[in-house]
Amino acid sequence: MYLNWNYLRKSNISEQEFLILLCAKQMRSENLEEYMEDICAGDEAILVYLKTAELITFVKGKESLFRRARLTTKGKEFLEEVSVADFLPEDKVVYDWLATKYKELGKELGNQKKGKRWLAQFRAESGITKNDLILLCNHFITDSSRMEYSHRLDYVFFKPATAFDVRFSLEESKLWQYYLKYQDYFEESFTKNRNKTD
């Protein structure tokens, strides 16, 4: 799971509270009462505070609050949001370059908001940035065997398998799979590129 530390800090949710939310999310399918109690240092007050903040709720029962804590819809949304990478100025440079290239090739941009979000997530999770990312994308979008995944810019970094898939998955990214297939070539190209600019 990718964690956007800047978003977490701005949200005023502490690292401890974040762990509690993760634990509450898993409590639906497994008993993590012992871990929950450890994270809370045996104090149920933090759970009550998170309930007041509408991030968790308690299912009915006679067990302790550590056992009965579950995520609310708001808590689930928070965990979704905190796993999304920020769109950085360097991402804008890459996106603008790609948009220009796409227009030159007569291809569609598609949903630009999604395209930018997938680009930021790909960069954050893959560690491939700036000129290296442009080089990888250039190979990918001009490779005729990848046309199915590059006819729209928003599909370059990730194309959900169904309309219900809203979470980015690096492993499902065709661009990532392409990189892995030719990893030695790309790593060598990245190094050459960096040496030219130094």
Sketch the domain layout of the chain as residue ranges. 5-81, 89-197
Separation in Å, CA 99 to CA 104, 149, 188: 9, 15, 26
In this model, does residue 195 exceed pLDDT 90? no
Which of 165, 156, 160, 78 is closest to 122 using CA atoms?
156
Pick among 1.10.10.10, 3.40.50.10420, 3.20.20.70, 3.40.710.10: CATH of 5-81: 1.10.10.10
Q: Read off the pLDDT of residues 147-186 as tens digits, 9 standing for 90 and up.
A: 777 889 989 999 888 877 778 999 999 999 999 999 999 9
> Average pLDDT of the chain?
92
Q: How far apart are the C-alpha atoms of 48 and 192, rounded to whole Å?
A: 56
pLDDT tens figures, 116-131: 999 999 999 999 999 9
